[in-house]
């Protein structure tokens, strides 16, 4: 919109915009100002939090988006952008951003045990090592201040629970017995002359300041707050040496160094014994991808599962389409009575929430107590064998999926002009020939893209597998790959099943799956493009 | 990574996008909905807990009891308390929320989460005095202690027990063999369809199979008083587990154990009178009481001439979040609000779980719950170490495969190899 007149000649602009009704309405302008104000306000309000978190990328992104929005809607320029910007932003935020984040995560070992960075982990390990001194009494604690309740300085007043007559005053200089001006009730200091006693809320609010205070005792330990009303003598047994990156246990002088174990680093002693199960997030390069392609347990199952995934998706699409189409054609014949009732009944499976019907079907297949064996008089252990479980999965998915195909086919059939089939009949192509040569090709033009979409959906139909068979049956020597597992359910088990949550690895598998599904979809769309020639 | 998840960035970006969608309409009429979105997710650091002085997360079954305890603590201390039920994946939600800095101050959950919560740095240790700890049943303290430190104040304990339909089998069996024999006799006479409802399922159930494993001398991890469970010593694939596997195979051939009985239907089949025995926990009690027949409960007995059966014992506990906003109040609540006889009584009455505090155990006069208390005190705490995550699936599936007719010895040995490899892989 590099229209010089637009920006310079205001009178021209006014006349042009006034031609659009409602364009310059006062309420519309107010709404616009309000919304843009909210955008800017949000960005401003978020800034301190983002600066505090030091997340500069988000800060820049937030302001960039705000500026783009303001520039687009506050000025009269760039009319197409007004329509394109929301969609583009959405695409970037909800599609591109997650994909980029997934790809980024796939190069880390992020997951259970590695959720924190190393500094946080060290702080936590050392902080958790505070141990009560063997002979430490439990004190009733009162925190008071002769200054401000939020900033201090703070003084601890301690009464041993087993000796309620004694009172200690604790400051950074140490403990002092029997301070003056102290009122003790029920073994607890309740008032001190010249001091304000902090209540539970004030203690909580001042906890950061209180954590900075170390009140030493005579036995080389410190007074440790235990909640807000009690305290004990104790000290951390572990010390972190930042220069050497080691943790030393002062009780027995064992030094723990950073060591690689499995796919992550731990603090461990000379013999490899870990100090803690806590590890931290680290970049692992392409190790997650290497594991997918080189780990024998994964790669050996991968091909079989990939083939079954394709078979499952293909048979599901073909089966549901043929069944749905057959019903659609039958009910499309004007001679059928009660069309509406039949149609309503056929859509029922579609109306029941999928996960409920899947769980129900799962119980139908029970060998001894299931509906299917009961009715048919069979005694098949449906989910016990790989083949019968696959059949069961396909049958259930057929039941779940055909109503959709029925709906789609019915709509497509009704959209085919009557005169085409009539002309075909006159030319001698009646019955099946007419259907095969005229109706079906025309139908495919409409339906083919939906078939591709359904294929993609079934390719990743996690629910159908997970809720029905759980991926089983499993052979005892490989409990990670089941007989009915498709790639997505298999991935889920690898990432979240045994061994805790491995988000980094799961992200790597997702990236691989993304590529595979993308390639397949691209090939299919190329194939369906030829159908468009029919028109 | 952590920085990305913990920032408000994504929220902000989403807010901006929603606003953008509103601006997109030229008329401005479509903007009302988006502006309400904006206000609800405005960056007031609203973390769901509002600005309560203490935020507790629990599950929907326990919320009423937990709320009572939390409310009385709040009243006594003049603070606002909020209790929220997380109905789906409480443990996972808690780990994620705590890492992002918008989790609760206290979480109420099972003791076997502790290993995972500690390795994720999500909970802080507690410092109850030895005196206070002696008020709890030994097994409950053992369960909530991890790496030599206490991580939760336990209030309820649970373990499997053996339910019996007295209309079918009037006499209490002395051993598992007796139970199975009388159950099989009942099946033969047509009174019931199943001798013993022990959930197996197609995917296996290592939890319910534990009494059989332990009765034959099998174990999952070796246990040491001082250091707890040892992930380096896996008992699956060793002698005891092989004997157990052979027995499981024999019971499967006799149709006592079958994959068609799973966690989904075992209780329902028992309460509808189709089974002589049921192995289940206190959670089945309410259903069994309503079933309309006379029932008996006893701790799961061992097999004749073998060790006593040791099912898994689970403890429900209050834990203090590592990244809560009010850690001092959280510690105070757990140390003094929860750790008292009154609170424990309230929790027992509200949850109907066998109590962990011995003083409360002594006051329980419900004979069924007394049996469950006895069962839990005789059980072994479920391992809380993260390595346990590598055990459930392979072991359960091995049991299921044996029940479906696979060779017991080869299967259990192969499961042991799989478990050892998974533990080694995880580091």
Ordered by where they begin, the domains of chain A are 10-105 (1.20.58), 130-236 (2.40.430.10), 294-528 (1.10.3720.10)
Distance in angstroms (rounded) separating the CA atoms of residues A461 and A486: 8
- At residue B237, the pLDDT reads 92
Q: Band of the pLDDT at B26, cuts 50, 70, 90?
A: very low
Say if residue B77's pLDDT is above 50: yes
Asked if pLDDT for residue B422 goes beyond 90, the answer is no
Please state the pTM of the whole predicted model. 0.80
Q: Which residue has the tokens 């790959």?
A: A481
pLDDT category, B346, cuts 50, 70, 90?
very high
pLDDT at A532: 62
- For residues A276 and A434, give the distance between their C-alpha atoms in angstroms, rounded to a whole number: 74
Contact A251, A269 (CB under 8 A): no
A96-110: per-residue pLDDT in tens?
889 999 999 999 988
Mean pLDDT over B206-235 rounds to 92
**Is residue B28 over pLDDT 60?**
no
Among A353-357, B24-28, B241-245, B345-349, where is mean pLDDT lowest?
A: B24-28
Cross-chain CB nearest to B79 (options A39, A50, A200): A200
3-state secondary structure of A154: strand
Contact assessment for residue A265 and residue A279, using Cβ atoms and an 8 Å cutoff: yes
Distance to chain A for B290, nearest Cα, Å:
22
Eight-state DSSP code of residue A115: S
pLDDT confidence band for B14 (50 / 70 / 90): very low
Cβ A511 vs Cβ A102: under 8 Å? yes
> Do the chains contact at B7 and A89, CB–CB below 8 Å?
no
Give the pLDDT confidence score for residue A533 in this predicted structure.
60
Q: Note whether B79 contacts A201, CB cutoff 8 Å.
A: yes
DSSP-derived 3-state class of residue B101:
coil
For domain B161-310+385-426, is the CATH number 3.40.190.10?
yes
- Specify the DSSP element, H or E, that contains A24: none
Gap between the terminal Cα atoms of chain B? 21
Q: What are phi and psi of B84, to 5 degrees?
A: -120, 140
A116 near B323, Cβ under 8 Å? no
Contact (Cβ atoms closer than 8 angstroms) between residue B318 and residue B124? no
**Mean pLDDT of all residues in chain B?**
85
Q: What is the Cα–Cα distance from B308 to A320, expressed in whole angstroms?
A: 54
Nearest CA to A111 among A351, A280, A273? A280
Taking CB atoms and an 8 Å cutoff, what residues of chain A touch B55? Answer: none
Torsion angles phi and psi, residue A251, rounded to 5: -70, -45
CB-side exposure of B308: number of CA atoms within 13 Å?
10
Q: Does A301 touch chain B (CB under 8 A)?
A: no
Residue showing tokens 């409802």:
B197
Look at A128 and B124 and tell me if their CB atoms are within 8 Å. yes
pLDDT at position B266: 93
Inter-chain contact B43–A42, Cβ cutoff 8 Å? yes
Cα A271 to Cα A267, A268, B210, B229: the distances in Å are 11, 8, 33, 19
Report which of A396, A206, A424 is spatially closest to residue A319, judged by C-alpha positions. Answer: A396
- Please, what is the Cα angle at A53 between A48 and A54, to 5 degrees? 95
Q: Best of A29, A33, A36, A38 to disrupt the B interface by mutation (most B CBs within 10 Å)?
A: A38
pLDDT the model gives residue A298: 77
| pLDDT of res. B222 | 93
CB–CB of B24 and A83 under 8 A?
Answer: yes
Tokens, residue A320? 């549901």
The dihedral region occupied by B120, where left means phi > 0, alpha psi between -120 and 50, and beta the remainder, is alpha
One DSSP character per residue, B22-35 reads HHHSSSSTTHHHHH
Helix axes A440-459, A503-529, angle to 10 degrees: 170
Q: Which helix (H) or strand (E) holds A93?
A: none
- Look at residue B211 in the predicted model and tell me its pLDDT: 95
CB B234 within 8 A of CB B221: yes
For residues A530 and B25, give the distance between their C-alpha atoms in angstroms, rounded to a whole number: 38
The Cα B367–Cα B294 span in angstroms is 14
pLDDT at B35 over 50: no
Q: How far apart are the first and last CA of chain A?
A: 38
Cα–chain-centroid distance for residue A393? 27
Location of each CATH 3.40.190.10 domain in chain B:
10-157+314-381, 161-310+385-426
pLDDT at A23: 54
CA-closest candidate to residue B23, choices A39, A24, A27, A26: A39
A225 interface with B at CB cutoff 8 Å:
yes
What per-residue confidence (pLDDT) applies to A6?
43
| B52, B82 Cβ separation under 8 angstroms | yes
State the pLDDT at residue A65: 87
CB contact under 8 A, A498 and B393: yes
List pLDDT tens digits, range B108-123.
999 999 999 999 999 9
Residues of B in contact with A54 (CB under 8 A): 3
Residue of B90, B89, B129, B266 lying closest to B195 (CA atoms)? B266
Under CATH, which architecture does the B10-157+314-381 domain have? 3-Layer(aba) Sandwich (3.40)
Element (H or E) spanning B262, and its range?
Answer: none
A411's tokens: 């709509």
**Residues found in chain B:** 427
List chain A residues with pLDDT less than 50.
Answer: 1-19, 21-22, 535
Q: Do A477 and B7 touch (CB under 8 A)?
A: no
């Amino acid at each position: 919109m590099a229209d010089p007149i637009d920006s310079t000649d205001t009178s021209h602009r006014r006349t042009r915009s006034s031609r659009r009704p409602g364009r310059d309405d006062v309420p519309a302008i107010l709404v616009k100002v309000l919304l843009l104000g909210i955008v800017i306000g949000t960005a401003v309000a978020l800034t301190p939090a983002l600066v505090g978190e030091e997340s500069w990328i988000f800060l820049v992104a937030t302001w960039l988006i705000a500026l783009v929005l303001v520039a687009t809607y506050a000025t009269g320029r760039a009319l197409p952008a007004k329509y394109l910007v929301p969609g583009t932003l959405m695409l970037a935020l909800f599609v591109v951003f997650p994909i980029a984040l997934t790809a980024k995560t796939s190069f880390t070992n992020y997951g259970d045990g590695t959720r924190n960075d190393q500094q946080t982990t060290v702080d936590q390990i050392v902080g958790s090592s505070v141990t009560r001194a063997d002979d430490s009494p439990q004190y009733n604690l009162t925190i008071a201040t002769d200054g401000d309740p939020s900033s201090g300085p703070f003084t601890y007043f301690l009464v041993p629970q087993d000796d309620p007559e004694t009172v200690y005053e604790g400051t950074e200089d140490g403990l002092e017995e029997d301070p003056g001006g102290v009122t003790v009730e029920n073994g607890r200091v309740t008032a001190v002359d010249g001091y304000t006693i902090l209540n539970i809320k004030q203690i909580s609010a001042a906890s950061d300041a209180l954590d900075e205070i170390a009140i030493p005792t005579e036995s080389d330990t410190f007074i440790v707050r235990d909640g807000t009303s009690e305290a004990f003598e104790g000290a951390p047994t572990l010390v972190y040496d930042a220069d050497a990156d080691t943790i030393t246990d002062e009780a027995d002088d064992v030094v723990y160094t950073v060591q690689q174990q499995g796919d992550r680093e731990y603090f461990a002693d000379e013999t490899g014994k870990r100090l803690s199960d806590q590890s931290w997030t680290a970049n692992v390069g392409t190790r997650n991808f290497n594991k997918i392609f080189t780990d024998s347990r994964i790669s050996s199952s991968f091909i079989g599962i990939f083939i079954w995934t394709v078979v499952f998706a293909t048979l599901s699409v073909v089966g549901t389409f043929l069944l749905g189409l057959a019903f659609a054609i039958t009910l499309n014949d004007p001679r059928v009575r009660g069309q509406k009732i039949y149609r309503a009944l056929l859509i029922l499976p579609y109306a029941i929430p999928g996960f409920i019907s899947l769980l129900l079907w799962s119980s139908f297949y029970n060998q001894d107590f299931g509906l299917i064996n009961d009715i048919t008089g069979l005694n098949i252990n449906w989910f016990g064998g790989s083949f019968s479980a696959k059949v069961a999965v396909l049958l259930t998915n057929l039941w779940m999926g055909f109503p959709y195909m029925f709906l789609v086919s019915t709509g497509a059939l009704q959209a085919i002009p009557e005169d085409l089939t009539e002309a075909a009949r006159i030319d001698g192509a009646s019955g099946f020939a007419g259907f095969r040569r005229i109706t079906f090709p025309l139908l495919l033009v409409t339906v083919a893209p939906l078939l591709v979409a359904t294929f993609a959906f079934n390719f990743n139909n996690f629910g159908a597998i997970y809720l029905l068979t759980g991926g089983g049956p499993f052979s005892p020597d490989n409990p990670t790959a089941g007989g009915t597992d498709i790639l997505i359910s298999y991935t889920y088990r690898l990432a979240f099943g045994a061994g805790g949550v491995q988000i980094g690895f799961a992200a790597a598998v997702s990236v691989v799956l993304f590529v595979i599904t993308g390639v397949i979809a691209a090939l299919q769309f190329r194939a369906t493009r030829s159908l468009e020639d029919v028109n | 990574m952590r920085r990305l998840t913990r920032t408000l960035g994504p929220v902000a970006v989403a807010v901006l996008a929603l606003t953008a969608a509103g601006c997109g309409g030229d008329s401005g009429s479509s903007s009302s909905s988006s502006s309400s979105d904006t206000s609800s997710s405005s960056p007031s650091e609203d973390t769901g807990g509002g600005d309560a002085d203490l935020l507790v997360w629990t599950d929907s079954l326990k919320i009423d009891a937990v709320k009572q305890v939390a409310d009385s603590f709040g009243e006594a201390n003049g603070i606002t308390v909020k209790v929220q039920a997380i109905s789906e994946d409480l443990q996972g939600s808690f780990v994620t929320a705590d890492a992002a800095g918008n989790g609760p101050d206290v979480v109420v959950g099972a003791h076997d989460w502790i290993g995972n919560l500690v390795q994720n740095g999500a909970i802080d240790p507690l410092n109850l005095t030895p005196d206070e700890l002696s008020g709890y049943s030994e097994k409950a303290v053992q369960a909530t202690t991890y790496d030599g430190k206490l991580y939760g104040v336990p209030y309820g304990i649970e373990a499997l027990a053996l339910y019996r339909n007295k209309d079918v089998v009037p006499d209490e069996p002395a051993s598992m063999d007796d139970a199975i024999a009388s159950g099989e006799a009942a099946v033969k006479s047509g009174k019931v369809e199943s001798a013993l409802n022990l959930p197996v399922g197609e995917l296996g159930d290592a939890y319910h199979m534990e009494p059989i494993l332990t009765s034959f001398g099998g174990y999952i991890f070796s246990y040491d008083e001082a250091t707890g469970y040892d992930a380096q010593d896996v008992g699956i694939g060793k002698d005891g587990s092989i004997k157990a596997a052979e027995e499981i195979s024999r019971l499967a051939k006799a149709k006592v154990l079958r994959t068609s009985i799973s966690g989904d239907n075992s209780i329902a089949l028992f309460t509808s009178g189709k089974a002589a025995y049921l192995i289940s926990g206190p959670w089945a009690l309410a259903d069994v009481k309503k079933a309309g027949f006379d029932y008996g409960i006893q701790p799961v007995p061992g097999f004749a001439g073998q060790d006593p059966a040791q099912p898994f014992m689970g403890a429900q506990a209050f834990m203090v979040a590592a990244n809560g906003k009010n850690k001092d109040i959280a510690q105070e609540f757990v140390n003094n609000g929860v750790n008292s006889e009154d609170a424990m009584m309230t929790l027992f009455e509200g949850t109907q779980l066998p109590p962990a505090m011995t003083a409360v155990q002594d006051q329980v006069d419900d004979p069924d719950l007394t049996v469950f208390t006895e069962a839990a005190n005789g059980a072994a705490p479920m391992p809380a170490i993260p390595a346990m995550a590598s055990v459930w699936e392979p072991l359960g599936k091995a049991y299921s495969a044996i029940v479906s007719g696979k060779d017991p010895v080869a299967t259990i040995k192969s499961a042991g190899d799989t478990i050892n490899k998974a533990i080694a892989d995880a580091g």
